């Protein structure tokens, strides 16, 4: 599997990361090494093996439908880098 | 373009309906789901996705989803996990939506729908799955900022996805109407499209009737009423055919419906870059739907409109038309059933409900349905008419309006307060004697065989009683009195 | 003041009137003051609060109402939520963040009168094996400050090894408690996956993350495990199984112990570690335990499986650090560039590397080849491990292939660093419990650890055998 610049850029966009040109070469290199390394898994015959999707043996761990006290709004907004008295605020989403 | 050109094309629509479940708390956390609260007050560290928080599944939301699945004849999955759908948006606090990708709780299913012309069509479902709602982004309050309100983030939804087997706007509208009715009957959602507790997206494509391949589909969002669903589909149908006829390509994209213009417009998003990277949610344990649990849900589940209709036909001997009208609204059907527990004159109850009561309901504004009369009042009224205590014209013109204005009063109260009880045998006997006394010639003619004078006597009696007499009873008494007179002579 | 080996020693001195909790807290605060500047183990120290609490616990001890952990002074890794205290995961992206709730595991310690003395240094978001990936600089190995303490719970191991607290609470996703324990010469336990609630543990890789304990004695670790374990209303994955009295588990039973020849023959294993492990095997035999050779065919697939799956989960778990609801934000004109600038400028190199890897293996075109493949291999590894543990009570191995390496030594080659987790990831890939115990030193005087793994939910026997190995090591000394 060859990691191309295009793959790096697409992946970075999905992860909402950006890399300067030097860093981009570095991460491309790292990803390539990583992928080569994990390609070892292709040696394993897994044809009749189901993917393991859960590690907990618990099942039906439900919650009853009962509301609990909320966080006061000023506390909810307290940690935000930007907010007004009611809302979190972000740069305008243009659609 | 000629209308004939349109007739060469087939419309193909699949609907995705988001149904907000009316649980008290959110899907994975204990915050209230109440609508219309001040922004960012229905939140906790869990809704805000603070580091270290864990989701825990609301059992009732699962039960509500299963109710809908059972009502739609779906297969209920016995082992379910949740998946993460990864994407960045400010109203998605975790950076992913917890949903069901691989193991939807309900698979398949069919919803029969009655069209206007009486035809019944089956709309096939692909799946129903559980997921959490996103928060709200508000774009029009500030020139260069969007405001984020996370009250709605985490509210439970089921997404119902149909197969692309809907072929007309009417069919889509009838289906939406039926779904809205069902969720209200099942008490899993208030069905309010304006507040967004019921939302519909449509995947629309067209193809020449001779084609077997589906055309490129366009997703249309933002239709906040059933009527708009119909309008959007009709518009999109024409728009796409026009493109095909002009030899222009149809672009697979998401378009928004504009209710003001009745048209759709492109959202212009970087669609091709989306890759949601679904994978099993490792922070939630799986759940299993046992036979016992399923039975419990089945038994505790309110009836669906369809079940009610067949019950109304079987138990009450009503016509299919009557049952359709009676079950169009959950509240109406429930009222009808309640009255029928108190009287066995089902058809008469149905007539009252479909006639005077429905016309009052039609005048009511908004989504709230308030039945104007108490069930006891109506059952009494029906009984009074059937026992010939009052006649139906009096019941309709005077007693019913009185009861509507005085929902705490009884039929007897109405009779005494309105001073209209004249159907008693003695009262009307006097009137009959009075009438017969006034027309001795005619009495003779009747006795000599001119039996059709009966009508004239009846008219006089009704005139004297101001229409309050029970005609059947009056007729009987009149005949008795005439016979008696004959014997006397 | 002298250093204390165990809580029972502390409690007996308190009972004798020679010590009080407030004196003890002052002692640790002095230790921190003296050494933290060099060792960089603590990121925040809650001195006033700890002293205040110590007075009230002293009163409770006098009144006979004190909890099980009265006299236990605990440090917690910077990945645990503790209400109204910092929580930064050693990352710039969470600068200034104050948690608004307390992790279940930490709350249970507090409920039993433990004192939380501070938050400890670690690799950013627990990703690393050397503590060099911290936004606050590396913690230093107290045995030799030119060497790393291991990671990711580096500060936690340093703090215990240098008597800045009695026990530390760390997290272990691929060896992050056991490896630094081995490097610093302390005991480190990774309990069974789901034994302790993860509510309040900032997630790295959810299907691997385990709350872990670092301490000086098996008894202390048993007690803390007992207090923290069990069902929790917030975590649907936590085990509902009853929690044994781990403190009563040290029964001196005889066991069947397997070593995996593939692990001992691995080319990356340092010969001194191998020799000392062999000594332990001899000791076990002479002590009446059965020791046998067993085999694992999946050894070479452990690390690739681990890295594919943990990177995938991490890429999703770390999406919430987006500069919207908390943490820092770098403006960039529009929303998309705000996201990218915030995340790129404030997440460290290793974290970004794993997010990129995880995003890649989850993306539609590569999902089946990497992610689903690794899930299938994970099942095979688990099945093989379970079948070995059906025949033997424990699998014994080195904790690490090397002793503590020098700071900066592995910086250039992340893949070499990943090899450090060779022996530890098996327990996380399979969910079983594992412990690292110190068994000696290499020729540079750096500590060597041995690891034991057992069946799921069998921490009791794991603690028992650990206690026995430590006892005969002590007797030999």
Q: Alpha-carbon torsion B423, B426, B429, B434, what sign?
A: negative
C203 interfacial to chain B (CB closer than 8 Å)? yes
Residue C416 distance to chain A (closest CA, Å): 11
Give the Cα separation of A82 and C128 in Å (integer): 31
User: Total domain count for chain B?
Assistant: 3
Q: How far is B60 from chain A (nearest CA, A)?
A: 6
Q: What is the DSSP letter of C247?
A: G
CB C417 within 8 A of CB C426: no
Residues of B in contact with C339 (CB under 8 A): 88
The CA-to-CA distance between both ends of chain C, in Å, stands at 25
Q: How many CB pairs under 8 A join B and C?
A: 105
Contact at 8 Å (CB) between B300 and B188? no
The proportion of chain B whose per-residue pLDDT surpasses 70, expressed as a percent, equals 95
What letters, b where the CB count within 10 A reaches 16 and e where it falls short, cover B167-178? ebbbbbbbbbeb
Q: Which residues of A touch C304 (CB under 8 A)?
A: 37-41
C-alpha to C-alpha distance for B298 and A83, rounded to whole angstroms: 47
**pLDDT one-digit tens code per residue, B234-280:** 999 999 999 999 999 999 889 999 999 999 999 866 545 679 999 99
The catalytic residues of C are 77, 152, 176
Distance of CA A26 to the CA centre of its chain: 21
Per-residue confidence (pLDDT) for residue C26, from 0 to 100 = 98
Same domain for B258 and B333?
Answer: no
Q: Do the Cβ atoms of C450 and C436 come closer than 8 Å?
A: yes
Residue B222, CA distances (Å) to B191, B232, B258 in order: 16, 10, 8
Please check whether residues B409 and B430 belong to one and the same domain. Answer: no
> What DSSP element (H or E) covers B382?
helix B375-386
C69 falls within a domain = yes
Answer yes or no: is pLDDT of A95 > 60: no
CB nearest to C339's CB, from B88, B284, B285: B88
Confidence bin at B362 (pLDDT 50/70/90): confident
Residue A66 is nearest to which of B30, B38, B86, comparing CB atoms? B30
What pTM, to 2 d.p., does this model score? Answer: 0.90
Dihedral over Cα of C133, C134, C136, C139: its sign: negative
Query: How far, in Å, CA of A65 to CA of B60, rounded?
Result: 6
Q: Count how many residues are written for chain B.
A: 489
Return the SS3 of C320.
helix
Q: Which of A16, A70, A89 is facing B42, going by the closest CB pair?
A: A70
pLDDT in tens, B64-73: 999 999 999 9
CA torsion sign for B88, B90, B94, B97 is: negative
Q: Read off the CATH number of the domain in which C187 is found.
A: 3.90.1300.10
- Give the CA dihedral C462, C468, C472, C477, nearest 10 degrees: 60
Between CA B422 and CA C183 the distance in angstroms is 105
Q: Say if residue B411 is in the same domain as residue B455.
A: no
Asked if residue B464 is part of any domain, the answer here is: yes
Which residues are paired to C395 by β-bridges? C258, C453
Distance, in Å, from the CA atom of B125 to the CA atom of A40, rounded to the nearest integer, reads 42
Beta strands in C36-80, from DSSP E residues, in sequence order: 42-45, 73-77
SS3 content of chain C, % helix, strand, coil (to 5): 45, 15, 40
Which residues have C-beta within 8 Å of that of residue B380, sequence separation ≥ 6?
A: B410, B411
Confidence tier at B3 by pLDDT (50, 70, 90):
low
Give the pLDDT score at B427: 63
Contacts of A91 in chain C (CB under 8 A): 331-335, 338
Which tokens sit at C399? 């904790």
DSSP class of C297: S
Residue B168 CA to residue B239 CA, distance in Å, equals 15
Cβ atoms of B47 and B152 closer than 8 Å: no
Of B465, B393, B380, B392, nearest to B422 (Cα)? B465
Distance CA C438, CA C460 (A): 19
Q: Quick one: which H or E segment has residue A75?
A: helix A73-78
CA distance C10 to C71: 7
The H or E element spanning position B459 is helix B454-464
CB count, 10 Å around CB of B108? Answer: 16
- 3-class DSSP assignment, residue B66: helix
Write out the H or E segment, with its range, that includes residue C47. Answer: helix C47-63
Verify that B440 and B399 share a domain, yes or no: no
Domain CATH number, residue B484: 1.10.10.410
Dihedral angle, C-alpha C144, C148, C149, C155, nearest 10 °: 110
Residue B297 lies in a domain: no
- Higher per-residue confidence, C379 vs B1: C379
pLDDT tens per residue, range C169-218: 999 999 999 999 999 999 999 999 999 999 999 999 999 999 999 999 99
> Based on the domain organization, do B431 and B411 belong to the same domain?
no
Is residue C51 within 8 Å of residue C118, measured between CB atoms? no
Domain limits, chain A: 5-42
Contact between chains at A38 and C327 (C-beta distance less than 8 A): no
Q: Is C335 on the interface with A (CB under 8 A)?
A: yes
Q: How far apart are alpha carbons B123 and B436 in whole angstroms?
A: 67
The Cα C350–Cα C334 span in angstroms is 27
Q: How far apart are CA C432 and CA C428, in angstroms?
A: 7
Task: Tell me if C215 is assigned to some domain.
Answer: yes
Give the whole-angstrom CA distance, residue B366 versus residue B368: 6
| Burial (CB count <10 Å: 0-12, 13-18, 19+), residue C443 | exposed
**Closest alpha carbon to B334 in B356, B317, B357, B365:** B357
Residue of C98, C194, C304 lying closest to A37 (CB–CB): C304
Q: Are C423 and C401 in contact (CB under 8 A)?
A: yes
Q: How many CB atoms lie within 10 A of CB C65?
A: 11
For position B286, what pLDDT does the model report?
Answer: 96
Which chain B residues have a beta carbon less than 8 Å from that of C315?
86, 277
List residues bridging with B349 in a β-sheet: none
**Which chains have at least 3 CB atom pairs separated by less than 8 Å from chain B?**
A, C
The C-alpha of A91 sits at a distance from chain C's nearest C-alpha, in angstroms, of 5
Strands (E), B182-293: 198-208, 218-223, 254-258, 263-266, 279-280, 287-288
CA B32 to centroid of chain Cα atoms: 26
Catalogue the E-assigned strands of C261-346: 290-294
Please state, in angstroms and rounded to a whole number, the distance separating the CA atoms of residues C62 and C52.
16
Give chain B's mean pLDDT: 90
| Measured distance CA(C247)–CA(B378) in Å, rounded | 73
Tell me the β-bridge partners of B110.
B124
Parallel, antiparallel or unpaired: strands B156-162 and B198-208:
unpaired
Residue C198 lies in a domain: yes
Residue B407 and residue B432 share a domain: no
Residue B109's nearest CA partner among B71, B166, B159 is B71
Q: What percent of chain B has pLDDT over 90?
A: 62
Name the domain boundary from B418, B438, B461: B418
Q: Which residues of C are less than 8 Å from A11 in CB distance?
A: 356, 359-360, 363
Residue A94 has pLDDT above 90, yes or no: no
Residue C165: partners with Cβ closer than 8 Å, 6 or more residues away:
C28, C73, C74, C75, C117, C118, C159
Instruction: Name the closest residue on chain B to residue C208, using Cα atoms.
Output: B282
CA dist B12 → B15, B201, B238, B292, C4 (Å):
10, 14, 13, 40, 77
Q: What strands lie across the sheet with C167-172, from one edge to the other?
A: C42-45, C115-120, C73-77, C167-172, C210-215, C187-190, C434-441, C447-453, C394-398, C256-260, C290-294
State in Å, rounded, how far the first CA of chain A is from the last one. 36
Q: Do B40 and B107 belong together in one domain?
A: yes
Per-residue confidence band for B487, with pLDDT thresholds at 50, 70 and 90: low
Yes or no: say if C154 and C171 are a contact pair by the CB < 8 Å rule. no
CATH number at A5-42: 1.10.20
Whether residue B285 is found in the same domain as residue B308: no
Q: Which two tokens stand for residue B170?
A: 């009417």
CB proximity C300 to A under 8 Å: yes
Residues of C in contact with B94 (CB under 8 A): 319-320
By the CB < 8 Å criterion, does A32 face chain C?
no
Give this complex's ipTM: 0.97
State residue C413's pLDDT score: 84
C367 touches chain A (CB under 8 A): no
pLDDT at B421 over 70: no
- Inside any domain, residue B177: yes
Q: Which residue did the predictor score with more confidence, B329 or C201?
A: C201
Place of tokens 């590569």: C366
- B100, B74: one domain: yes
Nearest to A90 among B146, B269, B282 (CB): B146
Please tell me if residue A44 touches chain B, with a CB cutoff of 8 Å: no
Q: Report the distance separating Cα B73 and Cα B466, nearest Å.
A: 56
Q: What is the pLDDT of residue B255?
A: 93
Residue of B nearest to C80 (CA): B52
Backbone angles phi, psi at C394, to 5 degrees: -140, 155
Q: Which two tokens stand for residue A83?
A: 């907010």
Contact A58 C239 (CB under 8 A): yes
Tokens describing residue C9: 């020693």
Say which residue the tokens 């199984």 belong to: C241
d(CA B99, nearest CA chain C) in Å: 14
* Residue B430 predicted with pLDDT over 90: no
Structural domain span for residue B367: 303-418
Burial class from Cβ neighbours inside 10 Å (0-12, 13-18, 19+) for residue B294 reads middle
pLDDT recorded at residue B489:
57
Count of domains in chain C?
1
Burial C414-436 (b: 16+ CB within 10 A, else e): beebbbbbbbbbbbbbbbbbbbb
Establish if B78 belongs to a structural domain: yes
Q: Looking at the complex, report in whole angstroms how far the Cα of residue C234 sits from the nearest Cα belonging to chain B.
A: 6
Domain final residue pick, B262, B292, B322: B292
Cβ–Cβ gap C81/B88 under 8 Å? no
Regions of chain C where pLDDT drops below 70 = none
Encoding tokens for residue B445? 């003619």
Same-domain status, B335 and B269: no
């Amino acid at each position: 599997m060859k990691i191309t610049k295009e793959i790096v850029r697409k992946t970075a966009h999905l992860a909402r990361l950006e890399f300067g040109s030097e860093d981009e070469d570095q991460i491309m290199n790292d990803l390539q090494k990583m992928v080569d390394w994990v390609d070892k898994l292709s040696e394993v015959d897994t044809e009749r093996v189901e993917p393991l999707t859960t590690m907990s043996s618990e099942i039906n761990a439900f919650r009853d439908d009962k509301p609990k006290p909320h966080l006061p709004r000023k506390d909810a907004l307290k940690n935000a880098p930007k907010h007004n008295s009611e809302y979190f605020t972000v740069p305008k989403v243009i659609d | 373009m000629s209308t004939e050109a349109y007739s060469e094309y087939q419309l193909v629509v699949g609907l995705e309906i988001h149904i907000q479940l009316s649980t008290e708390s959110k899907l994975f956390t204990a915050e209230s789901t109440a609508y219309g609260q001040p922004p960012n007050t229905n939140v906790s560290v869990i809704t805000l996705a603070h580091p270290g928080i864990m989701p825990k599944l609301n059992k009732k939301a699962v039960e509500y989803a299963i109710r809908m699945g059972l009502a739609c004849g779906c297969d209920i999955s016995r082992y379910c996990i949740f998946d993460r759908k990864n994407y960045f948006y400010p109203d998605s606090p975790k950076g992913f939506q917890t949903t069901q990708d691989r193991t939807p709780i309900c698979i398949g299913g069919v919803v029969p729908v009655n069209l206007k012309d009486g035809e019944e069509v089956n709309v096939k479902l692909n799946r129903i799955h559980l997921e959490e709602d996103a928060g709200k982004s508000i774009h029009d309050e500030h020139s260069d900022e969007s405001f984020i309100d996370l009250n709605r983030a985490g509210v439970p939804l089921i997404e119902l996805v149909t197969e692309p087997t809907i072929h007309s706007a009417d069919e889509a509208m009838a289906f939406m109407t039926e779904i809205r009715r069902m969720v209200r009957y099942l008490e899993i959602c208030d069905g309010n499209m304006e507040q967004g507790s019921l939302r519909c997206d449509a995947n629309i494509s067209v193809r020449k009737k001779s084609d077997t391949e589906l055309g490129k589909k366009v997703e249309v969002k933002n239709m906040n009423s059933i009527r708009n669903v119909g309008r959007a589909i009709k518009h999109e149908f024409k728009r796409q055919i026009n493109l095909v006829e002009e030899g222009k390509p149809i672009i697979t994209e998401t378009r928004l419906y504009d209710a003001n213009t009745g048209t759709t417009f492109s959202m212009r998003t970087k669609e091709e870059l989306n890759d949601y990277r679904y994978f099993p949610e490792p922070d939630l344990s799986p759940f299993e739907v046992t036979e016992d649990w399923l039975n419990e849900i089945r038994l505790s589940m309110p009836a669906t409109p369809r079940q009610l209709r067949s019950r109304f036909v079987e138990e009450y001997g009503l016509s299919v038309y009557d049952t359709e009208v009676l079950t169009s609204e959950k509240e109406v059907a429930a009222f009808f059933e309640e009255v029928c527990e108190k009287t066995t004159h089902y058809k008469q109850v149905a007539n009252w409900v479909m006639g005077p009561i429905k016309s009052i309901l039609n005048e009511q504004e908004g989504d709230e349905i308030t039945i104007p009369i108490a069930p006891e009042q109506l059952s009494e009224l029906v009984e009074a008419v059937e026992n010939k205590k009052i006649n139906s014209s009096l019941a309709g013109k005077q007693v019913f309006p009185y009861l509507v204005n005085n929902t705490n009063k009884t039929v007897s109260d109405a009779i005494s307060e309105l001073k209209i009880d004249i159907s008693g045998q003695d009262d009307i006997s006097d009137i009959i004697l009075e009438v017969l006394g006034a027309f001795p010639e005619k009495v003779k003619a009747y006795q000599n065989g001119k039996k059709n004078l009966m009508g004239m006597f009846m008219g006089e009696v009704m005139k004297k009683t101001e229409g309050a007499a029970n005609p059947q009873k009056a007729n009987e008494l009149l005949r008795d009195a005439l016979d008696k007179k004959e014997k006397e002579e | 003041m002298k250093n204390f080996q165990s809580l029972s020693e502390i409690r007996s001195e308190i009972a004798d009137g020679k010590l009080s909790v407030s004196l003890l807290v002052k002692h640790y605060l002095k230790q921190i003051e003296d050494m933290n500047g060099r060792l960089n183990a603590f990121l925040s120290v809650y001195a006033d609060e700890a002293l205040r609490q110590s007075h009230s616990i002293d009163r409770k001890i006098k009144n006979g109402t004190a909890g099980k952990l009265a006299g236990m002074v605990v440090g917690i890794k910077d990945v645990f939520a503790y209400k109204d205290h910092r929580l930064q995961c050693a990352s710039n992206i969470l600068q200034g963040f104050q948690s608004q709730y307390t992790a279940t595991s930490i709350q249970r310690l507090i409920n039993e009168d433990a004192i939380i003395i501070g938050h400890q240094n670690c690799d950013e978001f627990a990703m690393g094996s050397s503590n060099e990936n911290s936004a606050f600089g590396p913690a230093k190995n107290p045995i030799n400050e030119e060497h790393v303490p291991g990671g990711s719970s580096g500060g936690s191991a340093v703090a215990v090894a240098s008597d800045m607290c009695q026990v530390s609470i760390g997290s272990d996703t691929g060896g992050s408690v056991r490896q630094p324990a081995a490097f610093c010469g302390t005991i480190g336990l990774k309990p069974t996956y789901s034994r302790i609630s993860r509510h309040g543990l900032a997630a790295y890789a959810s299907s691997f993350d385990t709350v872990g304990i670092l301490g000086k004695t098996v008894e202390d670790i048993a007690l803390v495990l007992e207090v923290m374990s069990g069902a929790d209303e917030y975590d649907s994955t936590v085990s509902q199984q009853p929690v044994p009295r781990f403190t009563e588990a040290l029964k001196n039973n005889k066991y069947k112990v397997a070593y995996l020849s593939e692990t001992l023959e691995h080319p990356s294993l340092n010969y001194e570690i191998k020799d000392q492990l062999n000594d332990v095997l001899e000791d076990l035999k002479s002590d009446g335990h059965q020791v046998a050779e067993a085999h694992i065919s999946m050894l070479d697939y452990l690390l690739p499986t681990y890295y594919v799956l943990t990177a995938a989960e991490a890429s999703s778990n770390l999406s919430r650090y987006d500069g919207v609801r908390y943490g820092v934000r770098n403006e960039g004109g529009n929303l998309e560039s705000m996201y990218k600038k915030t995340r790129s400028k404030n997440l460290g190199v290793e974290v970004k590397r794993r997010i990129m890897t995880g995003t890649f293996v989850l993306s539609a075109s590569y999902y089946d080849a990497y992610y689903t493949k690794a899930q299938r291999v994970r099942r095979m590894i688990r099945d093989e491990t379970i079948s070995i543990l059906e025949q033997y009570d424990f699998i014994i191995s080195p904790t690490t292939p090397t002793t503590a390496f020098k700071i900066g030594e592995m910086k250039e080659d992340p893949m070499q660093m990943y090899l450090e987790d060779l022996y530890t990831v098996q327990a996380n890939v399979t969910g079983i419990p594992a412990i690292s115990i110190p068994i000696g030193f290499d020729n540079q005087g750096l500590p060597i650890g041995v690891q034991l793994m057992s069946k799921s939910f069998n921490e009791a026997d794991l603690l028992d055998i650990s206690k026995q190995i430590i006892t005969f090591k002590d007797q030999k000394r």
